[in-house]
Structure 1
Amino acid sequence: MLSVEGLSKVFGGFTAVSDVSFKVDRGEILGLIGPNGSGKSTTFNCIAGHYVPTRGRIAFDGRDITGKPANDICHAGIGRTFQIPRPFHKLTVLENVALAAWFGQNRKVDRTTCWRQAAEALELVGLPRDPHATTEGMGAAALKKLELARALASQPTLLLADESLNGLDPGEMQQAADMLSMIRRERGITIIWVEHIMGVLMRVVDRVVVLNHGAIIYDGNPHGAQENPAVIEVYLGRDAVKHQSGEAHR
């Protein structure tokens, strides 16, 4: 469904992403993980159209989308959330989502359809469809749900979820992970989940791509990642690798 080939992004003299290549199959949940500064958000933003890659190619459903602007990427069928939700506070919750339905699709839709799609998206993420509900007083978990509802209202076939666990407590993290699984199950949406918190994500994704210093150090199943020395060193340090090696020799 998505193919990233030789992706590189350079800012001035700094190479944030270097020769990154991976593919995403239709119906898959892929975890794109790595420590802070590993290049995952830059990779994500190149796919979403926020950045123009320095080198490389990105193809979606067989079409070259490399360097396309964000609105074209969205209209092609790729929805995204943002790490920090920024709703329109002067609009109601329903209006926030309806706005995404109105502008996010690559087709003309009438107002009735927009309101219906917005209500369906809110119901899917567990937020009230009350047309008078406002964003005032919404906590971190509710704002993450609103961000997800706005992305879903654009009717994507591929969802880019950007650090959906950030700022949540353990219970909310599990709920967010379960919600992404449910969206894949209910809507058949393919998901790339960008995250630096491994624990909850590993129980949900089908495959993980691990980045460090802008390059891929692992691409495979989640269980293998948790036993891979390079991944362990990135997350836990060299002492953890030595400890694991010592346990293996006993």
Structure 2
Amino acid sequence: MLDVVFADRAVAFDPGTLVVADLHVGRAAASDVEVPLGERADLTGRLSNVLDRLGPETVVVAGDVLHEFGRVSHRAAETLDALDEACRDAGAELVLVAGNHDGVLANAWDRTVHDAYRVDGCARDVLVCHGHEEPEGSADLYVVGHDHPTITIEGQKRPCFLYGEKTYRAADVLMLPAFSRVAAGVSVNGMRARDFQSPLVTDADSLRPVVWDQGRHEALTFPPLGRFRELL
């Protein structure tokens, strides 16, 4: 199994890189549904909790940092600043990778916006990208977001990670759930490769769901979807 540390909608690699995906800052303001928690407080609070627990040196957002298209709203820019401040307060650097919703991200970020980010110091060659298009670089492991995976178990929909061994360019793929709790998740129970939006998913049956149990603070690993569907 994958040698990483799982957390609440986040994953950490040695020697100190945390990866989250799909913050969708600005989604709450664009949504028609009522959000029980303020977007900024929810994102920064949950990120700070993970930072306190794992103490990374680098935090990488694997795309769809924003949910903005024509311009970056003042509120979204302030939320991005608050996330950056939360990382700095924890002694970590925030690194942003562009997703398909990030066309105007450079207007709100005065540092490099990466197309992909290679994790330093890992035993494996790990490349973080959003996953909405095929990456240019090769790697042993691709870490992506984009599809917002969830799995429905006993009628309850849970955010999940999806891990596939040797499923893309003979390399592994790890898909992260959306860190945003406003962005709707898609239930992967019955999905085939053609149903995923990411071209890095070539064999859905081989993807192994991993669910973070918040109450027990542990990751629950399930059989690959091809076999797991028979148990649901």
Higher relative contact order (CA 8 A, sep 6+): 1
Of Structure 1 and Structure 2, the greater strand share is in: 2
- When Rg is computed on C-alpha atoms for both structures, the one with the higher figure is 1
Which TM-score band (shorter chain)? 0.3 to 0.5
TM-score of the superposition, structure 2-length normalised? 0.33
Of Structure 1 and Structure 2, the greater helix share is in: 1
